[in-house]
Amino acid sequence: MRNSTVAAIATATGVGAIGVVRVTGDAAIEIADKVFVRGKSGVEKKKLSDLKGNEMSYGRIVAGERVVDDAMAAVYCAPHSYTGEDMVEFFCHGNDRILREVLKVLVSAGAEYAGPGEFTKRAFLNGKLSLSQAEAVMEIIAAKGEAEMDAARNRLDGMLGKAAEKICDELVGLCAHFAAWSDYPEEDVEELSEGVMGETLRRAEKELEILAKGYNTGKILASGVSCAIAGKPNAGKSTLMNAIMRDECSIVTSAAGTTRDVVEAEAVVGGVRIKFADTAGIREASDEVERIGVERAKKRVAQSDIVVAVFDGSSKTDESDAEILELIKGRNSIAAINKIDLGLSADITAVKEAAGRVVFISAATGEGMEELESAICDAAGLLDYDKNAPLIANERQFDCIRRAAVGVRDAISALEMGVTLDAVEVCVESAVDALYDFSGRNVREDVVNEVFSRFCVGK
Ligand code: GDP
């Protein structure tokens, strides 16, 4: 059966030097030839189908007599393309109107509109990518921080898939041995000793545990860390927030109690995406609006992964500071002793006791900002993690690894209890099944559709 041919705009909307429209499927080159005239003068006789693949040609995209745009056409022949199918990409001028018209011309010539993630879905279905690699494509597109990007890059390179595959291969080896031994008794297959089985299973258990643990870091990298900036009015929270963002995103004023609500902004700190929230100054509120602001600030402090508690180091600490210390007790926090450019007048003994980390900064001059940023990464648990380790990035992957670990653990228990090998085999098989789900080898269609529905059209 012929595979349907689909087309989509692959680049983001807006004005750009170049915009790309791509078409993939069995009839991709044939359809592209209907709308593309090679050569400058438009009289060249050669067609795109004359190209060998992985080649480009200059020409014009036409709608009947009308020239829609001049473009470069890149031709890829199956299986040597992103999707594994015949594919053509048109590099046009980056104007949405032109790109939409090119897409329309391709559809008139026989292509269908591609759905979200359809190109990557086809790459997956054609065995060009595993499911975790396909997910990494979207993660790379969405990544903001360098560390997040590196982790997604590792997954796209297949590091996570290979780690899971290695475990899977060992377990499949066990299953194969069980099957050969029980199904072909006449073949004199060597019986697996309990020691060898136990060793293989315990190794798999340990490796699965390492993968599962990586989800903590992977999740933080993928979704970012929430960080509340809290402190009494005038401590310098907004100035600090602005210094981190390096632009004026919250109002800075010397009148106390200005930031009455929570102001949010994202920044990449030490390669990690941090979602900052500048909160209202915490103190005994003088009116209803301020009281609501203070309540929201406290709530945000309670909900955040990390708290940066800002203290004015240039003046004596008071009961508002004491209230903040109460709030951060036992929390993953950093005390930022601010206005250090004015000298230290505050007694920070209690601050040192309450906060996990203390840094001295001047949000106004930038002094100590690097120390603060590395303290934030440290609090996020991302200062010294192994950047080359394969990290699980989403709930689907985590669930597969978790199920595999349950299967392996059950197999170990069954072995230790001395039950029949059949029972051990069933547990190992369920672990293998979970790992097949992980790579997408036997994953259900609705799961595949769910994964790719999160993609953008054209990817
Ligand atoms: P917030 O109420 O905690 O958000 O405090 P702001 O950021 O609005 O700062 C209050 C006042 O302190 C402003 O006049 C700032 O310019 C000043 N300020 C903030 N940080 C520093 C600092 O590091 N050094 C000095 N000298 N002044 C600062």
3-state secondary structure 292-343: HHHHHHHHHHHHCCEEEEEEECCCCCCHHHHHHHHHHCCCCEEEEEECHHHC
In terms of pLDDT, which residue wins out, 279 or 164?
A: 164
Band of pLDDT at residue 254, cut at 50, 70 and 90? very low
Statement: residue 191 has pLDDT above 80? no
Q: In what order do the strands lie in the sheet with 272-278?
A: 263-269, 272-278, 225-231, 306-312, 333-338, 357-360
Residue having the nearest C-alpha atom to atom 2 of ligand 1: 234
Residue having the nearest C-alpha atom to atom 14 of ligand 1: 254
**What separation in Å is there between the alpha carbon of 238 and the centre of ligand 1?**
7
Mean pLDDT of 49-74: 94
Cis ω on the peptide bond leading into residue 79 (within 30° of 0)? Answer: yes
- Strand 112-113 to strand 6-9: parallel, antiparallel, or no bridges (unpaired)? parallel
pLDDT digits (tens, 9 = 90+) for 256-300: 444 556 788 888 888 888 888 888 777 776 777 777 877 887 888
Contact of 111 with 25, CB cutoff 8 Å: yes
Q: Quote the pLDDT of residue 255.
A: 45
Q: What is the DSSP string of 345-370?
A: -S--HHHHHH-SEEEE--TTT-TTHH
pLDDT digits (tens, 9 = 90+) for 23-36: 999 999 999 999 99
Least confident of 205-209, 267-271, 302-306: 267-271
Structure tokens, 369: 């900002």
pLDDT digits (tens, 9 = 90+) for 400-419: 999 999 999 999 999 999 88
Which atom number of ligand 1 is nearest to the Cα of residue 362?
Answer: 23
Mutation test of ligand 1: which of 241, 252, 344 has the most ligand atoms closer than 8 Å to its C-beta? 252
Alpha carbon distance 29, 46 (integer Å): 13
**What separation in Å is there between the alpha carbon of 226 and the centre of ligand 1?**
23
Q: Which of 132-146, 393-407, 433-447 has the highest mean pLDDT?
A: 393-407
Q: Quote the pLDDT of residue 26.
A: 96
Q: Quote the pLDDT of residue 251.
A: 41
% of the chain with per-residue pLDDT over 90: 48
Mutation test of ligand 1: which of 229, 239, 263, 283 has the most ligand atoms closer than 8 Å to its C-beta? 239
% of the chain with per-residue pLDDT over 70: 91
pLDDT digits (tens, 9 = 90+) for 343-367: 998 888 888 888 889 999 999 999 9
Reported pTM: 0.71
Band of pLDDT at residue 42, cut at 50, 70 and 90? low
Least confident of 70-74, 225-229, 357-361: 225-229
Statement: residue 250 has pLDDT above 80? no
Statement: residue 342 has pLDDT above 70? yes
Which atom number of ligand 1 is nearest to the Cα of residue 252?
Answer: 8
Statement: residue 207 has pLDDT above 90? yes
State the chain's mean pLDDT as an integer: 87
Band of pLDDT at residue 76, cut at 50, 70 and 90? very high
Band of pLDDT at residue 107, cut at 50, 70 and 90? very high
Which atom number of ligand 1 is nearest to the Cα of residue 365?
Answer: 23
Statement: residue 312 has pLDDT above 60? yes
Q: Which residues contact ligand 1 via a Cβ below 6 A?
A: 231, 233-239, 252-254, 259, 281, 338-339, 341-342, 362-364
Which atom number of ligand 1 is nearest to the Cα of residue 256?
Answer: 2
Residue having the nearest C-alpha atom to atom 22 of ligand 1: 339
